[in-house]
Amino acid sequence: MTLRGGILVRYVRIRVSRALVRSGLPDLDYALNPYIGCFHACTYCYARCYVPPKYLGASRFWGDVVYIKENIVDVLRKEVRRFSVGVVGVSTITDPYQPIESELRLTRSCIDVLLRSGFHVSIQTKSDLVLRDLDIISRFGGRVDVGLTITTMDDYVARVIEPNSPPPSRRVRALRRISDLGVETWIFYGPVIPHINDSEDDVEHIIELAKETKSKVLVDAIHVRKEILPTLSRALEALGKEWVIKELRKDKLSKWWLKFKEEVLRKCNQEKVECIPTYAEPPPKTKTLTNYTTKK
Q: Are the C-beta atoms of residues 107 and 97 closer than 8 Å to each other? A: yes
User: Which segments of the chain have a pLDDT < 70?
Assistant: 1-6, 279-296
**Does 283 map to a domain?**
no
pLDDT value at residue 288: 36
CB count within 10 Å of CB 226 equals 8
CB count within 10 Å of CB 163 equals 17
Query: What's CA 110's distance to the chain center, in Å?
Result: 17
Cα-Cα-Cα-Cα torsion 215, 221, 222, 224, nearest 10 degrees, comes to -150
Query: What's CA 123's distance to the chain center, in Å?
Result: 8
Rounded Cα–Cα distance for residues 8 and 39 (Å): 10
**Does 195 map to a domain?**
yes
pLDDT value at residue 292: 31
Domain residues for the domain of 91 are 2-277
**Does 161 map to a domain?**
yes
- Kindly state the helix (H) or strand (E) to which residue 100 belongs, with its residue range: none
> Considering Cα of 247, then 253, then 255, then 260, what sign does the dihedral take?
positive
- Kindly state the helix (H) or strand (E) to which residue 158 belongs, with its residue range: helix 155-161
The DSSP letter of residue 281 is S
**Does 292 map to a domain?**
no
User: What type of residue is 279?
Assistant: Y
Domain count, the chain: 1
* pTM metric for this prediction: 0.91
**Does 287 map to a domain?**
no
pLDDT value at residue 279: 63
pLDDT value at residue 141: 80
Burial of 158 (0-12, 13-18, 19+ CB in 10 A): buried
**Does 288 map to a domain?**
no
CATH number where 154 lies: 3.20.20.70
Rounded Cα–Cα distance for residues 78 and 101 (Å): 22
pLDDT value at residue 50: 87
Q: pLDDT tens, 184-227?
A: 999 999 999 999 999 999 999 999 999 999 999 999 999 999 99
